[in-house]
């Protein structure tokens, strides 16, 4: 979650920690974050709860790089019927592979119990919510009414002001949410500094590079949360670089 702390009133001296050297965290050369290695292992609630069989060698071969290669127009062509059969077999093998992997995944909080049958009819339309969801577009094939309904739901959940006093849009993923949130923070506080734990999601540091933001990687405690004492030291160090007349904004992530 991205938090913005404006005009922060920091203590003049840090507490509960001796002053560490800059090399311990401020000058860390690699800012990468956590790559989320468990993202490929999970299936809470997926399927019927049974473990699916492994694919045979012949089925796995259908998913090889050579099998799924898209031929160019001047490459050898096969019979249309044969080509259609091959595509059907490849998709069948892929479906079976996804079912197998979903049945044995564990450890990442995805909800894989999907049932989108009611949405199948809409797959034949080129639905696109161009631009601002609250601004009417000249593109008529859209689902803006549903997108703004989602925004209204969360606005009420978070007790935001009345409708018309808040804004948002539905992102495609958490990474896009991080990218947009950090962009807004940078635009509001162009001289701000991004403080984030060393184990934060990798998209945070990726966004910092995109937006050329000054980013500080803060070490974590044994349980993985940010080391608040070192964060305090780093913030205080920065605050002392500014005069009393200068208002500095701090951006922190957790």
Per-residue confidence in pLDDT tens, the chain, 254 aa:
333 333 334 334 444 444 444 434 444 444 555 544 444 434 444 456 678 889 999 999 999 998 888 878 777 655 555 666 788 999 999 999 988 888 877 766 666 677 888 999 999 999 999 989 999 889 999 999 999 999 999 999 999 988 888 999 999 988 999 999 999 999 998 888 899 999 888 899 999 999 999 999 999 999 889 999 999 998 888 887 765 445 545 555 55
Residue 150 to residue 212: CA distance in whole angstroms: 32
Residues whose CB falls within 8 Å of the CB of residue 213, separated by 6 or more in sequence, listed in order: 182, 186, 192, 193, 194, 207
pTM score, two decimals? 0.64
Cβ atoms within 10 Å, residue 31: 18
pLDDT, residue 81, reads 57
Helix residue ranges per DSSP H, 76-129: 80-104
What pLDDT does residue 168 have?
A: 92
**Which of 50, 116, 58, 117 minimizes the C-alpha distance to 90?**
58
Question: Does the CA dihedral 180-185-187-190 come out positive or negative?
Answer: negative
3-state secondary structure of 117: helix
Number of H helices, E strands in the chain: 6, 4
Q: Which residues contact 59 (CB under 8 A, 6 or more apart)?
A: 93, 96, 97
174-180: Cβ within 8 A, 24+ apart: 174/201, 174/203, 175/201, 175/203, 175/206, 178/2, 178/203, 178/204, 178/207, 179/203, 179/206, 179/207, 179/210
What are the helix (H) ranges across the chain?
57-61, 80-104, 144-157, 174-188, 202-210, 228-239
CB 207 within 8 A of CB 179: yes
DSSP letter at 219 equals: P
pLDDT for the residue numbered 162: 86
- Give backbone dihedrals phi and psi of 150, rounded to 5 degrees, phi first: -65, -45
Distance CA 158, CA 173 (A): 20
User: For residue 28, what are its two tokens?
Assistant: 């860390």
Helix (H, G, I), strand (E, B) or coil at 186: helix
Radius of gyration of the chain, Cα coordinates, nearest whole angstrom: 25
The answer for residues whose C-beta is within 8 angstroms of residue 249's C-beta and 6 or more apart is: 4, 5, 6, 7, 8, 188, 189, 191, 192
């Amino acid at each position: 979650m991205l938090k913005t702390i404006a005009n922060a009133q920091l203590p003049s001296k840090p507490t509960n920690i001796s002053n560490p050297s800059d090399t311990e965290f401020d000058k860390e050369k690699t800012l990468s974050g956590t790559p989320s290695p468990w993202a490929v292992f999970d299936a809470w609630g997926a399927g019927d709860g049974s473990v699916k069989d492994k694919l045979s060698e012949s089925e796995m071969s259908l998913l090889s790089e050579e099998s799924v290669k898209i031929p160019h127009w001047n490459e050898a062509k096969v019979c249309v019927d044969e080509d259609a059969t091959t595509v059907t077999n490849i998709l069948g093998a892929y479906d079976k592979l996804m079912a197998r992997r979903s049945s044995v995944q564990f450890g990442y909080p995805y909800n894989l119990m999907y049932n989108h049958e009611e949405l199948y009819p809409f797959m034949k339309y080129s639905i696109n919510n161009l631009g601002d969801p609250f601004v009417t577009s000249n593109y008529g094939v859209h689902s803006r009414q549903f997108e703004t309904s989602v925004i209204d739901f969360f606005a009420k959940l978070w007790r935001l002001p009345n409708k018309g006093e808040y804004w948002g849009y539905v992102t495609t993923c958490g990474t896009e949410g991080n990218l947009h949130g950090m962009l807004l923070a940078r635009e509001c506080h162009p001289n701000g500094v991004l403080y984030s734990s060393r184990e934060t999601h990798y998209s945070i540091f990726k966004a910092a590079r995109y937006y050329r933001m000054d980013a500080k990687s803060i070490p974590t405690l044994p349980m993985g949360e940010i080391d608040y004492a070192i964060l305090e030291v780093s913030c205080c160090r920065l605050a002392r670089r500014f005069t009393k007349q200068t208002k500095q904004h701090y951006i922190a992530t957790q």
